[in-house]
Amino acid sequence: MKKFMRQFHMYATILFLPVALLYALTGILALFEYEGDLRIIPDQIKYSKKPDILESEMIALKYLEEKHLLFPNYSFQVIKNGNGIAIGGLAHQVIFIFGNGAFNVFQIERKGVIAYLMALHFGQGKWYFDALGIAFGVCLGLFYLSGLLMIHTTKHKTPLIFTFILGCLVSVVMGYLSGH
């Protein structure tokens, strides 16, 4: 069991090291509110009654034609919270959000690697990057679990367990203080 845990820990860590570095880098950039080369152009489309999804798509298509914005290989996607629709990809996207009597339109243009990575960090990429992020999260939990299991086989068991408990307490206190 000890050998398996060490090998799992070692190979899984190396496998997901690039993803870990990506999330660490983009997480730090997010804390400093740096988005890379990102441009957001706001606009608004007035309407008298809230349209359904099909009517929303027609209004959005008309808007896109008027602005000469073409997305030939894309179809509209309902936004996760169901409060609007979006079209486009990571580099160029137009989002239509339902508001009081108007669509709030945001044209989002990303240029450069950092802007793309920031979008991926916040789950704005394709489903397969989200799947990789979920797999990374699960493996991260398994890394720490295997690390905790490896603690039980060392002669430094007591100080390591104390350090783990201290880390848990610091995390809980900091989380609590951040919420107040």
CATH number at residue 44: 3.30.310
- The answer on 103 and 66 residing in a single domain is yes
Q: What is the pLDDT of residue 177?
A: 92
Has this prediction a pTM greater than 0.75?
Answer: no
Give the end of a domain, one of 94, 111, 128.
Answer: 111
Write down the residue that tokens 């179809």 correspond to: 75
- The answer on 70 and 19 residing in a single domain is no
Give the end of a domain, one of 111, 130, 156.
Answer: 111
Beta bridge partners of 45: 103
Residue 174 carries which side chain, given as an amino acid letter?
M
| Nearest in space to 30 (alpha carbons), one of 105, 102, 94, 124 | 124
Please, is 105 exposed, middle or buried when counting C-beta atoms within 10 Å of its C-beta (0-12, 13-18, 19+)? buried
Please, is 46 exposed, middle or buried when counting C-beta atoms within 10 Å of its C-beta (0-12, 13-18, 19+)? exposed
- The answer on 77 and 48 residing in a single domain is yes
Q: At what angle do helices 2-31 and 127-151 cross, to 10 degrees?
A: 130
Give the end of a domain, one of 111, 126, 149.
Answer: 111
Which strand ranges, in their side-by-side order, compose the sheet holding 37-46? 37-46, 102-111, 92-98, 84-88, 77-78
Residue 54 carries which side chain, given as an amino acid letter?
L
- The answer on 171 and 134 residing in a single domain is yes
* Domain region containing 136: 1-34+115-179
And the tokens for 140?
Answer: 């991260």
Beta bridge partners of 110: 38
- The answer on 22 and 47 residing in a single domain is no
130-177 pLDDT, tens digit per residue, is 888 888 888 888 878 877 777 777 788 888 888 889 999 999 999 999
Please, are residues 30 and 118 in contact by the beta-carbon 8 Å criterion? yes
Per-residue pLDDT of the chain (180 residues; tens, 9 = 90+): 678 877 877 887 888 888 888 888 988 998 898 888 888 899 998 888 878 878 888 888 888 888 888 887 778 888 877 788 888 887 888 998 888 888 889 988 888 888 888 888 887 777 888 888 888 888 888 878 877 777 777 788 888 888 889 999 999 999 999 887
- The answer on 119 and 84 residing in a single domain is no
And the tokens for 120?
Answer: 């991926």
Number of domains in the chain: 2
Average pLDDT of every residue of the chain? 84
Please, are residues 109 and 39 in contact by the beta-carbon 8 Å criterion? yes
- The answer on 145 and 92 residing in a single domain is no
- The answer on 123 and 101 residing in a single domain is no
What DSSP designation does 170 have?
A: H
Q: What is the pLDDT of residue 76?
A: 86
- The answer on 63 and 51 residing in a single domain is yes
Residue 27 CB: number of other CB atoms within 10 A? 11
- The answer on 127 and 76 residing in a single domain is no
- The answer on 121 and 105 residing in a single domain is no
- The answer on 44 and 27 residing in a single domain is no
